[in-house]
Amino acid sequence: MFARSAARSLVTPARQFSSSAARQSKVTVLGAGGGIGQPLSLLLKLNPYVTELSLYDIRGAPGVAADVSHVDTKSEVHGYPADKLDQALDGTDVVVIPAGVPRKPGMTRDDLFNTNASIVRDLATAIARVSPKAKVLVISNPVNSTVPIVSAVFEKAGVYDPAHIFGVTTLDVVRAQRFLAGVAGTDPKDTPVTVVGGHSGATIVPLLSQTPHGKGVTGEVYKKLVHRIQFGGDEVVQAKDGAGSATLSMAYAGARFTGDLLRAINGEKGVVTPTFVKSPLFADQGIDFFSSNVELGPNGVAKIHPLGQLSKEEEELLAACLPELKKNIEKGKKFVQQS
């Protein structure tokens, strides 16, 4: 019963869309043995659009695959050890990357850079070589830097298509909906919030004025709500007391975005969600990656939507976001140039 209801919550759109004619979709998880990768793999096993699930990690992936493969859904599951990366990627349509080290108390996402940047670069190099047309969904932090890293690697390899590379910022949206619903006394599913900018701290800009339940939130309540959305990850890091960061909620968010993309790949129209992509919105300020509402299609990014009207407070949040985001992006690009 859990598997069926969980699957429905992650893949059922507002308008019913039949999966009876769904195309074959191979999804590969790189980092499947980790704290995000294991629950993410389980949730993807529940998605009817996934026909083959390929799980890879430097350790533990075959065991995770054996475990997940027993779940009674139709998709086939295969696990690959450290020396079988190319086999894991062969013929894949979508690659989800949660690989890397988690945050610990006192660490920022930027503190993760030196370790995770090289992991993401090496995985991106393999994807560009083996499955250059795959859609790549980057979870590994710091996303503001790792998405530019993946993009630069693909560009270096001569196979870059900006419509195919996504930073998964869905957890910011999930938190915004949950936290606003708590303030407004509503159901999160009836409390949509667009979150733009980047995926760390002050670069996260929730557009509360654009949702009916957010318009009435003002003063100190507004400030606390925005801060909680921006720094919600710290709550989890502190509560886990050194044992990790937001893994379960991130796995849910990653599965949700993967499900959105698979629906669009299968031909569903009107799938719109925030994601961190190559974007023209602030390119004139030297910021060529940005998260905003993006319409997804069979080829990945179909249309990048403008931000719409912002409140005075949101304009201030955006002004604080942009210089920080620019530094994060440049750091990722510089890392590849120096590699």
Annotated catalytic residues are: 199
Check: CB of residue 138 under 8 Å from CB of residue 199.
Answer: no
Is residue 31 part of an annotated ligand binding site? yes
Exposed/middle/buried for residue 114 (C-beta within 10 Å: 0-12, 13-18, 19+): exposed
Q: Is 181 annotated as a binding residue?
A: no
Q: Supply 207's token pair.
A: 């557009």
Sign for the pseudo-dihedral over CA of 267, 270, 274, 277:
positive
Residue 70, C-beta contacts closer than 8 angstroms, at least 6 positions apart:
none
Cβ count within 10 A of residue 297: 17
Structure-derived torsion over alpha carbons of residues 87, 89, 90, 91, reported in degrees to the nearest 10: 150
DSSP secondary structure, 117-161, as one string: HHHHHHHHHHHHHH-TTSEEEE-SSPHHHHHHHHHHHHHHTT---
Check whether 263 is labelled as a binding-site residue: no
The DSSP string of 66-83 is HHHTTSSSS-EEEEE-GG
Tell me if 140 is assigned to a ligand binding site: yes
Is residue 35 marked as binding? yes
Ligand-binding annotation for 110, yes or no, is no
Q: Is 91 annotated as a binding residue?
A: no
Rounded Cα distance between 105 and 171, Å, is: 19
1 carries a ligand binding annotation: no
Tell me if 270 is assigned to a ligand binding site.
no
The response to whether 103 counts as a known ligand-binding position is yes
Contact 101, 109 (CB under 8 A): no
Q: What is the DSSP letter of 295?
A: E
37 annotated to bind ligand: yes
- The answer to whether 118 is annotated as binding is no
Gyration radius of the chain over CA positions: 19
CA nearest 180: which of 232, 111, 142, 115?
232
Print burial letters for 9-24: b (CB count within 10 Å at least 16), e (below 16): ebbeeeeebebeebee
Residue partners of 173: CB distance under 8 A and separation at least 6: 193, 194, 195, 253, 273, 274
Q: Report the half-sphere exposure of 90 (CA within 13 A, side-chain side).
A: 8
- Does the annotation place 4 within a ligand binding site? no
Q: Is 149 a known ligand-binding residue?
A: no
- Provide the annotated binding site for NAD(+): 31-37, 57, 116, 139-141, 250
- Provide the annotated binding site for substrate: 103, 109, 141, 175
- Provide the annotated binding site: 31-37, 57, 103, 109, 116, 139-141, 175, 250
